[in-house]
Structure 1
Amino acid sequence: MADSSENVVRKVVLITGSSSGIGAATAIQFATLGYRLSLFALNVPMDEDGLADTKDRCLKANPKLTSDDILTMTGDLTIEKDCHLFIEKTFEKFKRLDVLVANAGVVSASRLENMKMEDFDRVMNINCRVVVLMNKLVIPYLAETKGNIVNVSSVAGLRACNDMMAYCMSKAAVAQLTRCAASELASKGIRVNAVCPGVIDSTRIFHNAGLSTEFHDLMIERVKATHPLGRAGTPEEVAKSIAFLASEEHASFMTGVTLPIDGGRCVSS
């Protein structure tokens, strides 16, 4: 369980990658808890449309929220000024920040022997460098509110996965960032945790990676063997875990955690 909406009605959460999948589900979850929302997505038509849909779903999830309680922005987080602008506009509108959910990321399928270094650089930039920068930039705001960060890593950052080397490395870096940042920022009263999802049934991230619907369907079929619970996870299951880690009511003594939400994948053979 996360905080009751009565306790967090004025709190603000900033979520990257909010147009679909885990990011959209997380926005809706925080909306039900009464948070004001700052939502960011890539400035391409599909994600812009998805972001508008996420906002509508948040308003429906909590009738107490108004359109003025939700800031939406699009841009490119690999451009450093867009990261600065997103955070500055959030503070300008809401005058505070309580939670960062660093969710934006990409999937990449590659093996070491055929990896293109430009693809490796792109994955590390989006999945790692952007997360480091966002974690860095929110520190002064979260120090004021004694807020916290939830990074989205992956079970692929905790164990080897064939044909996904760049992705695995980027998500392992996010897990280590989480541990190091938790140690560094504890003295400021800032908690830093991460979720590590297994395969999640969300087609958009595969589409954005240029992977086919058939590849998505194959991955979903494979989890019956690779995930002990025998199924893929849902974005909503990850979102609820993110809200739990962000909760001061339930997770106030948790920091530096890399929490698997993976149907048992991290302990399977």
Structure 2
Amino acid sequence: MGRFDGKALSREKVAKFATHQNTAKILLFKGSSTGIGRATAVLFAKEGAKITITGRNLAALAETKAECIKAGAKESEILVTSGDMMEEETRKELIDKTLDKFGKLDILVSNHGGAFIECKEDGSWNIDTFDSTFNQNTKSTLDLCLKAEPHLKKTKGDIVLVSSAAADMAVTWNPFYAMAKISLCHLTSILGYRLAKDGVRVNCVKPGFIVTPFYSRLGFTPELTEKVAQFHANRTIPMGRTGTCEEIAEPIAFLADRKVSGYMTGQSITVDGGVTLQHGATTYSFEDIMKQNNP
């Protein structure tokens, strides 16, 4: 009986196929208090990993920890740290505390990032947000990877970065964010090549439209976020819906699992419901165009 032949599988076999083989791995999550980071931390906790979770919101981190324990992790297998990841000392302490508690580091998942209001009311770009955007999305991630590098070499470990489907689109209303995210993809390629000889793999996930607290930090109300989500689901996402945090956590786990992705490095995979398959000529309904030309 094959895995994809349509025949029923026992629960034991289903569980075996669903497991990403990350048991007993030591993971460090950069940005795990909410959204994709939280969903990923919970998934790895469910699979038996020992994890470090970090963010700036202690209350949100406590919720993440509680969900990880509910998923099966022991309290002793979770390290919670808090701080501003824009600060170099915070990034250094994150590595040091993980090593102090667990003795090693197997996997680094960097989900930290964010965007600012980059367009002024007249539509012009606010260059004052450029440095902050790149520092938050690119520089802090690069620095953390470099700080983790010697420890990952010892364990022949893995790095998974989280970019965005915006990296592949001309996002004129948030240009610096899109530029910072494509730089993460190039960083993935460079680090993947650089560290391959040391047995360290580096890969990246580019999520599409996922409803997370990211939008509230941009000033979106829950009502506006829902309105924007519905617009994209109806107009710009070929699969007709926005994604879930869990649907991004699974590809992250896939890339961290050497049993199923061990021959991959330096790659950025897009998980976006088909958004980036479109181009200008496909954003219009051919039927609507014909109706306009033939009243």
Would the TM-score normalized by the shorter structure come out above 0.5? yes
Deviations 1:8-58 (A, max 9, x none): 43211100111100000000010111000100101xxxx211110000000
Deviation at 1:214, TM superposition (A): 3.8
Match of 2:47 in 1: 33
**TM-score relative to the length of structure 1:** 0.92
The correspondence of residues 59-98 of structure 1 with structure 2, limited to 5 A, is: 59-62=69-72, 65-98=73-106
Aligned ranges 1:1-12 → 2 under 5 Å: 4=19, 7-12=21-26
Provide, for residues 137-156 of structure 1, a one-character-per-residue CA deviation record: whole Å limited to 9, x for no partner: 11111101111100000010
SS in 1 for 2:85: coil
Give the Å deviation of 1:201: 1.6
* Greater length-normalized contact order (CA 8 Å, ≥ 6 residues apart): 1
**Alpha-carbon distance, 1:208 to partner:** 2.0
Could you tell me which residue of structure 2 aligns to residue 220 of structure 1? 229
Gapped runs of 5+ residues in structure 2? 1-15, 280-295
Q: Which residue of 1 aligns with 2:284?
A: none
Work out the CA distance in 1 between the residues paired with 2:111 and 2:220: 20
Q: Which amino acid counterpart does residue 156 of structure 1 have in structure 2?
A: A
Match of 2:118 among 110, 118, 121: 110
- In structure 1, the residue matched to 2:252 is 242
Q: How many residues align?
A: 261
Alpha-carbon contact 2:22-2:44 (below 8 Å) kept: no
C-alpha displacement of 1:233: 0.5
Q: Tell whether the 8 Å contact from 2:189 to 2:267 is kept in structure 1 after alignment.
A: yes
Change in CA separation of 1:8 and 1:230 when aligned onto 2, cut-off 3 Å: closer
Partner of 2:109: 101
Q: Which structure is larger by alpha-carbon Rg, 1 or 2?
A: 2
Task: Give percent identity, aligned residues only.
Answer: 34
2:217 aligned to which of 208, 222, 232 = 208
Is contact 2:42-2:64 (8 Å) kept?
Answer: yes
Identify the residue that residue 145 of structure 1 maps to in structure 2: 155
Task: Quote the offset at 1:240 in angstroms.
Answer: 0.6
- RMSD, aligned CA: 1.7
Q: Distance in 1 between matches of 2:188 and 2:77?
A: 29
- Give me the whole-angstrom Cα distance separating, in 1, the residues matched to 2:225 and 2:169: 21
Letter of the 2:248 counterpart: V
Structure 1 unaligned runs (5+)? Answer: none
Note the 1:120-269 alignment, pairs <5 A.
Answer: 120-202=130-212, 204-224=213-233, 225-269=235-279
Q: Does 1:17 align with 2:26?
A: no
Q: Distance in 1 between matches of 2:137 and 2:238?
A: 27
How big is each residue's C-alpha offset from its partner over 1:124-164, in whole Å with a ceiling of 9 and x where there is no partner? 11011111111111111110111110000001012222311
Following TM superposition, by how much is the alpha carbon of 1:253 offset from its aligned partner in structure 2, in angstroms? 0.3
C-alpha contact (below 8 Å) 1:107/1:206 kept by paired residues: no
Q: Distance in 2 between matches of 1:37 and 1:9?
A: 11
Distance in 2 between the 1:163 and 1:81 partners? 33
CA-to-aligned-CA distance 1:194-244 (integer Å, 9 cap, x gap): 000001022x11122333334422320222211110111100000011000
